[in-house]
């Protein structure tokens, strides 16, 4: 009896420790290490003869008696139930009632599955229509973006063509090795004066051979406006 109480106490202690580990934040599973089949026997266990685990006679007798009593009780209960329901037709009838209930449940399940399939088809049709509209909108947006990109490309090309024309026109006045002597002679022949005067009123007075042609034109326009 003391041995049984000791084993039960150990079981309760192990259960309490296991519950404490489960309640903790970190759970660690311990795996026992086992030797492989190919490993040799430990030197300390070569000459060891394993003794049979001793059995408590009282515990063995108690468990044997308890199991025999359990089997006898269950057999008595089965025989009692068979005596209480001797009519097999009654049991068949009860089984038939249960089967009809199961058939009704199956019919209800089939009806609900058909309704579910119909609803799924309706939902699929609505979803496909929505996806088609979204695809159409996306195509329109892509076409508009492509048209805008083409317009911008054509604008940039026209601007570049204008720049190229201007550069070509300006390249005619560039000084090269071929026309360098001519340009030097032209510069020597056409002397330009960069001097100018400012009177007390702040008006700029330019000579006749001035190089400030733009400034002279501005002065002429201002004079015409004042007159």
Alpha helices in the chain, H assignment, sequence order: 2-23, 57-84, 88-171, 180-189, 213-226
For residue 9, pLDDT over 90 is answered with no
Q: What residue segments make up the domains of the chain, in order of their start?
A: 88-163
Q: Are 192 and 211 in contact (CB under 8 A)?
A: yes
- In terms of Cα–Cα distance, which of 3, 104, 13 is closest to 63? 3
Determine the pLDDT at residue 89.
55
- Beta carbons of 177 and 191 less than 8 angstroms apart: no
* Two tokens, residue 152: 């911008």
Q: Write down the pLDDT at residue 227.
A: 44
What tokens appear for 142 in the block? 């892509």
Residue 220 and residue 206 in contact, taking contact as beta carbons nearer than 8 Å: no
Q: Quote the CA–CA distance of 36 and 207 in Å, as a whole number.
A: 115
Does pTM top 0.85 for this prediction?
A: no
Which of 1-10, 41-50, 175-184 bottoms out in mean pLDDT, i.e. has the lowest?
1-10
Average per-residue pLDDT in the chain?
79
**Hey, what are 87's tokens?**
């009519």
Q: What is the pLDDT of residues 201-218, one digit of tens each?
A: 777 777 777 777 777 777
pLDDT exceeds cutoff 90 at 179: no
pLDDT at 226: 45
Q: Report helix, strand or coil for 44.
A: helix
Cα 113 from Cα 121, distance rounded (Å): 12
CA–CA gap between residue 222 and residue 204 (Å, rounded): 12
Q: Does the pLDDT at position 139 exceed 60?
A: yes
Residue 32 three-state SS = coil
Distance, in Å, from the CA atom of 60 to the CA atom of 66, rounded to the nearest integer, reads 10
| Least confident interval from 10-24, 75-89, 123-137 | 10-24
Question: Phi/psi class of residue 56: alpha, beta or left (left: φ > 0; alpha: ψ in -120 to 50)?
Answer: beta
Give tens-digit pLDDT for 37-62: 888 888 888 888 888 889 999 999 99
């Amino acid at each position: 009896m003391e041995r049984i109480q000791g084993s039960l106490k150990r079981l309760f202690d192990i259960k309490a420790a296991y519950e404490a580990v489960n309640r903790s934040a970190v759970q660690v599973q311990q795996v026992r290490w086992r030797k492989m089949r190919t490993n040799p026997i430990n030197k300390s266990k070569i000459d060891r003869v394993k003794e049979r685990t001793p059995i408590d006679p009282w515990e063995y007798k108690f468990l044997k008696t308890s199991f025999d009593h359990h089997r006898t009780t269950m057999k008595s209960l089965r025989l009692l139930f068979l005596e209480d329901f001797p009519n097999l037709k009654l049991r068949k009838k009860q089984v038939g009632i249960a089967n009809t209930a199961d058939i009704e449940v199956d019919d209800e399940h089939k009806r609900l599955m058909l309704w579910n399939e119909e609803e799924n088809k309706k939902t699929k049709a609505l979803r496909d229509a929505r996806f088609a509209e979204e695809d159409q909108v996306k195509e329109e947006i892509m076409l508009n973006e492509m048209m805008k990109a083409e317009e911008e490309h054509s604008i940039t090309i026209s601007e570049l063509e204008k720049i190229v024309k201007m550069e070509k026109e300006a390249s005619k006045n560039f000084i090269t090795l071929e026309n360098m002597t001519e340009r030097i002679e032209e510069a020597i022949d056409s002397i330009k004066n960069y001097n100018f005067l400012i009177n007390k009123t702040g008006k700029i007075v330019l000579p006749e051979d001035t190089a400030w042609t733009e400034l002279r034109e501005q002065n002429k326009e201002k004079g015409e406006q004042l007159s």
